[in-house]
Structure 1
Amino acid sequence: MSILSREKVKLNVQVKDKYEAIRLAGQLLVDAGHVPEAYVDKMIEREGVSSTYIGGGLAMPHGTNDAKPLIRSTGMSVLVVPEGVDFGEERANLVIGLAAVGEEHLDVLSSVAVLVAEEDDMQRILQASSEEELIAIFEEGMEL
């Protein structure tokens, strides 16, 4: 099973708040079989402990540490939110849901952070015209 696939990418998403964004990102992981429904609640719980906003328009919601046993396989979901969604003091235009087995979450987090740290790459992601184009940008910039 691929860490990122067309079914786990949503372009031009509109959400009313970060919790709706997190639930949508989490549901894509559930639908793909990476995690059970209970993991989405752990993603919401994690956001309550501390914001998953990373910077530069990127938020990476993921579950709490005690949710680790729920993860069946490593997966990533991507929401492009053109108008942005408030994550505390900042607005995220890119919301990446993450479920990772073992220590893989650190590898995925750092790979994504490096990819979107380049303003050109972040703009290419936000302006992708199809799910396939967005996935190609991630595959080019990360080792998926």
Structure 2
Amino acid sequence: MSDQILTEKTIEQNQQFSTKEEAIRYVGGLLQEQGYVNEEYVDKMLEREEVTSTFMGNYVAIPHGTEDAKKSVLETGLAIVTVPDGVDFGDGNIVKLMIGIAGKGDEHLEILSQIAIVCSEEENIDAILNASSKQEIMDMFSEVE
């Protein structure tokens, strides 16, 4: 993945959230602060969550906007937030790793497949959650071809 899509400024480790909404607003806020999306996109992330959960299993959720949120995407970007104590995404689904995505055009499809490769291995999830630096997390995702 290109360095512009994921930067140390869009990675936050060891966060705590009481609700799924708070968690999604946080990860969306990182995308917004770094200029990947406008403010409306964060609301569209919450809207997407109401339609269908972005919980993927393995303690991973991939919050992203609805289809009509594409106009709110300024640049393709990722935000990664680790939540070691977990946050309940409903139905007993606990999320410890959130990967917020904003994709221009169809770029999010390629990013999703790369994320799926990394997150399909439980030891990779553990490595991300236990990473001692943001660079370590960036390296995990840059190794994906």
**Counterpart Cα distance in 2 of 1:46 and 1:63:** 6
The answer on 1:6 being equivalent to 2:8 is: yes
RMSD: 1.0
Q: Deviations over 1:20-77 (max 9, x none)?
A: 1100000000011010111101101110111010111100000011111111110000
**Counterpart Cα distance in 2 of 1:38 and 1:69:** 9
Task: Compute the TM-score of the two structures, normalised by the length of structure 1.
Answer: 0.95
Count of residue pairs the alignment pairs up: 142
Stretches of structure 2 that go unaligned for 5 or more consecutive residues are none
Q: Which residues of 2 match residues 97-108 of structure 1 at below 5 A?
A: 97-108=100-111
Q: Partner of 2:94: helix, strand, or coil? A: strand
**Counterpart Cα distance in 2 of 1:97 and 1:10:** 12
**Counterpart Cα distance in 1 of 2:19 and 2:138:** 25
**Counterpart Cα distance in 1 of 2:23 and 2:5:** 19
Alpha-carbon deviation of 1:19? Answer: 0.7
Task: Compute the TM-score of the two structures, normalised by the length of structure 2.
Answer: 0.94
Q: Partner of 1:28: helix, strand, or coil? A: helix
Identity among equivalent positions (%) equals 46
Q: Which residue of 1 aligns with 2:136?
A: 133
**Counterpart Cα distance in 2 of 1:119 and 1:95:** 15
- Name which of 75, 89, 114 aligns with 2:117: 114
Q: Which residues of 2 match residues 37-116 of structure 1 at below 5 A?
A: 37-89=39-91, 90-116=93-119
Runs of 4+ aligned structure 1 residues displaced above 3 Å come to none
